[in-house]
Amino acid sequence: WSLLVQAVDHWHEPSAALMRPFRQLPDWRMDDLMISFSVPGGGVGPHLDQYDVFIIQGTGRRRWRVGEKTPLKQHCPHPDLLQVEPFDAIIDEEMEPGDILYIPPGFPHEGYALENALNYSVGFRAPNGRELVSGFADYVLARELGSKRYGDPDVKL
């Protein structure tokens, strides 16, 4: 089994320090730090994420497999987890404490613990066009911007 705790950096200041090396990226790209604890054999299975993620191996060892970005049959046992059918790995690595693995959005991957393991996942938003426009609209509305109407200059009747 695995225990996943999301947004740890939002409420635990010492954990937020893991985000500092990534601060060269714009804040709007930053999502969260997720910490996972797994017992031997534990993991969430093959899945997709729609964001960039850096996996930092904390303690223990975990095997990570990453596949090609190709269409795979998907199923959603949970609304926040997009699982996929098994895939052929293009990356198959055993990670030890201090190792980091980058996984781009849309690449199938899975990790399973070889012993009790802690992993830190630093996630970065990879929004689509609709999400960018929606986010900008929310920003404008929340700050009550854009209320001034357009008017032609120097109109005389």
Give the pair of three-digit tokens for residue 32: 């969260």
**pLDDT the model gives residue 77:** 67
Half-sphere exposure in the Cβ direction for 34 (13 Å, CA): 14
Supply the pTM of this predicted model: 0.79
pLDDT < 70 regions, the chain? 77-78
**pLDDT the model gives residue 127:** 82
Which domains can be identified in the chain, with CATH numbers? 2-142 (2.60.120.650)
pLDDT in tens, 34-57: 999 999 999 999 998 888 999 999
